[in-house]
Amino acid sequence: MSSVPDTASAAAPAGIAPSGGAPLNRALLVVSAILVAYVLTGLLAPYLVGDYISMNPASRLKPPGSEHWFGTDQLGRDIFGRTMVGTGNSLLVGGSVALLTTVIGTAIGLFAGYFRMGEWLIMRLMDGMMSIPSVLLAIALAALIGSGLGTVIIAITITEIPRMVRLVR
Query: pLDDT value at position 100?
Result: 98
Distance CA 2, CA 13 (A): 25
Distance of CA 124 to the CA centre of its chain: 30
62 near 72, Cβ under 8 Å? yes
Q: CB within 8 A of 153, min separation 6: which ones? A: 93, 96, 97, 100
To the nearest 10°, report the CA torsion of 123, 127, 130, 132: -130
62-106 per-position pLDDT tens digit: 999 988 889 999 999 999 999 999 999 999 999 999 999 999 999
CB atoms within 10 A of CB 106: 15
What letter does residue 58 receive in the DSSP assignment? G
Residue 79 has, within 13 A of its CA and on its CB side, a CA count of 15
User: What is the value of pTM for the model shown?
Assistant: 0.74
Average of per-residue pLDDT across 49-63? 87
Annotated domain spans of the chain: 26-168
Is 72 strand, coil or helix? Answer: strand
Is 78 strand, coil or helix? Answer: strand
User: How far separated are the first and last CA of the chain, in Å rounded?
Assistant: 68
Provide the pLDDT confidence category of residue 130 given band limits of 50, 70 and 90. Answer: very high
pLDDT at 28 over 80: yes
